[in-house]
Amino acid sequence: MNRFDWLSEYLAKLQDEHVLVRHGSAVALPPAHTLEIDAEDWGRAAQEAQRFGCRWAGTWGDEQDGRFIIHCCLEFAGDYLILKTDIGIDSPVLPSHTPFYPAADRPERHLADLFGVAFADSPDSRPWIRHQAWPEDSFPLRSDFPVAGQPPEITPADAEYPFHKVKGSGVYEIPVGPVHAGIIEPGHFRFNAVGEEVLSLEQHLGYVHKGIEKIAVGRDAEGLVRLAGRCSGDSTVAHAWAACQAFEQAARFRPPSRALELRAIMCERERVANHLGDIGAICNDVGFAFAQYQCARLREDWQRRSAELFGHRFMMDGVVPGGVSTDLDTAAIATLLADHDALRAETDPLFDLLQDTPSLEDRLLGTGRLTRETAQSLGCTGYVAKASGLGFDVRRDNPYPPYDRHPIDIPTLEAGDVMARVQVRMREIVISLGWMDRLLTQLSDGPAREPIHRRGPGEGVGFVEGWRGEILAYVRLDDGGKVARYFPRDPSWHTWPALERIVLGNIVPDFPVCNKSVNGSYSGHDL
């Protein structure tokens, strides 16, 4: 039986039993299952996975011993399968997954720009992340590329990106960005419209590419996690936790229970803070400033408490290898429980108001609808997917400590519009508050951090449900325990393309509220 036949039977069993089973030596990256396949079967594997209903969750490359190791992460019914193959560096060509998974388009182009891997039958071979910052025949993630690069004195303007054209009577283009008013990060949006109706939207991102994957190489555990916490500042806890999970798996280390519980408290606090900010901003985009004032006030109080008890408004560097940097004493726990009661008292009437204000409903109901089928094809997770009927949540469907011992409810709606995405955020705030109450009253005894003695070699993956959705992290350690490869994948990689679909048929003035209802992270995308 060749490897592809094995994969076919593996996925058939997955479909029949609705569960992934461990098969011999296939398990190598807990909590994911791994399967090595031949390079020529890479595309057929995606075809089979798509046929059986797997969600495509990411791809990344790694250079080892003069060859490229390519990974692809799939999810089905809460279980993860990582496909692996290897190809030569001299002629790195693979079949594309994009014909079967639209979600693979931009990640494959990212891989092509940074590693030089060509995808033979990809429907889109345009560069994605390069932006003229390095020559076409240079690839920054290869080992022979210097960390500082070889920048010219002046980087050429990336003015010739070949956006798709829409032709027809009355069709006109609207370029927006990459520089925007206010403080948001750069991204280009190219609209084609007739009158006020949007016919198409195409994005171009990558303007704040930071070289995260490159500069992670050679770091120790502490340096890696500090870097991970800066992939996307509003998700600093979730990204740091995912990196810790991957590193700790690679080092075969399990943090103490209390540390994992405190990580979860911080991650839920991050969720509440960002949902409050988004709800207010969405309302403000349609002129309902009252909600913006209230949510901004509540979020500010919440973040000041985070600074007081966890050392930073965003709790940056609160998650560290082996645990957390700050423990909670009895007085701090009592303070948090009182804060939860106070926030509930404020948000209960506010959320009732937001769901029963005709002028707000007029702007949000039916606006920016994302169908379940489109959300599924793009691999969306988080509130974007939950508002369109897809309830996947790592905390419930592949629970990691402490969610395995303290289950959490997951809200799901069907409308798929801006209002549904607001309502999911509201419900997640309420659920998180109640869940934190229960956990805080039964925190485990013991240390909040323990040293990691075994450092390498090894590899591991981490999966964390951040406030935007599923975050993935892969870490490979060298013989000395230093990072040889780090790959983080923010949920924004899957929700940014959804925005292009959400705005179709809507009017141009509704783009800001559609955009804010998705709120993809520029920084989390522009690694």
Handedness of CA 263, 269, 272, 273 (dihedral sign): negative
Looking at the domain assignment, is residue 159 inside a domain? no
Q: What pLDDT is recorded for position 160?
A: 86
pLDDT of residue 189: 96
Is 124 within a domain?
Answer: no
Residue 255: Cβ within 10 Å count? 25
Residues 6+ apart with CB under 8 A from 430: 344, 347, 351
DSSP 317-382: T-EETTEES----HHHHHHHHHHHHHHHHHHHHHHHHHTS-HHHHHHHTTSS---HHHHHHTT--H
Asked whether residue 163 is domain-assigned, the answer is: no
Cβ-proximal residues to 284 (8 Å cutoff; 6+ apart), any chain:
291, 292
CATH code of the domain containing 31: 3.30.460.80
Q: Is residue 182 assigned to a domain?
A: no
Tens of pLDDT along the chain (527 residues)? Answer: 443 454 556 555 544 543 333 333 344 577 888 888 899 999 999 998 998 889 999 999 999 988 999 999 999 989 899 999 999 999 899 999 999 999 999 999 999 999 999 999 999 999 999 888 888 889 999 999 999 887 777 888 888 899 998 989 999 999 998 988 777 889 999 999 999 999 999 999 999 899 999 999 999 999 999 999 999 999 999 999 999 999 999 999 999 999 999 999 999 999 999 999 999 999 999 999 999 999 999 999 999 999 999 999 999 999 999 999 999 999 999 999 999 999 999 999 999 999 999 999 999 999 999 999 999 999 999 999 999 999 999 999 999 999 999 999 999 999 999 999 999 999 999 999 999 999 999 999 999 999 998 777 999 999 999 999 999 999 999 999 999 999 999 999 999 999 999 999 999 999 999 999 999 999 999 99
The answer to whether residue 200 sits within a structural domain is no
Contact indicator for 121, 96 with CB cutoff of 8 Å: yes
Domain that holds residue 498: 212-318+329-525
Query: Do the domain assignments include residue 22?
Result: yes
User: Residue 223 maps to which CATH number?
Assistant: 1.10.645.10
Same domain, 110 and 254: no
Which of 206, 193, 117, 192 minimizes the C-alpha distance to 161?
A: 206
User: What angle do the packed helices 418-440 and 511-518 form, to 10 degrees?
Assistant: 30
CB 2 within 8 A of CB 40: no
pTM, two decimal places: 0.94
Task: Indicate whether 105 and 218 sit together in one domain.
Answer: no
Kindly state the tokens that stand for 512.
């800001």
Q: According to the model, what pLDDT value does residue 21 have?
A: 36
> What pLDDT is stored for residue 9 in this prediction?
63
Q: What is the pLDDT of residue 413?
A: 98
Rounded Cα distance between 239 and 232, Å, is 8
Do residues 54 and 79 lie in contact, with contact meaning Cβ atoms separated by under 8 Å?
no
Token pair 């089928």 is found at 373
DSSP 234: G
* CA dist., res. 463 & res. 246, Å (int): 8
259, 304 Cβ separation under 8 angstroms: no
Tell whether 235 is covered by a domain: yes
Contact 481, 455 (CB under 8 A): yes
CB 4 within 8 A of CB 44: yes
Q: Which of 119, 144, 174 is the last residue of a domain?
A: 119
Residue 12: the pLDDT is 53
pLDDT for the residue 157? 82
User: 88, 119, 150 — which closes off a domain?
Assistant: 119
User: Strand 483-489 relative to strand 171-176: parallel, antiparallel, unpaired?
Assistant: unpaired
Q: Is residue 418 part of a domain?
A: yes
- My answer on whether 479 and 346 are in the same domain is yes
Counted domains in the chain: 2
Domain end position, chosen among 91, 119, 147: 119
The pLDDT assigned to 133 comes to 84
Distance, in Å, from the CA atom of 443 to the CA atom of 440, rounded to the nearest integer, reads 5
- Residues 115, 216 within the same domain: no
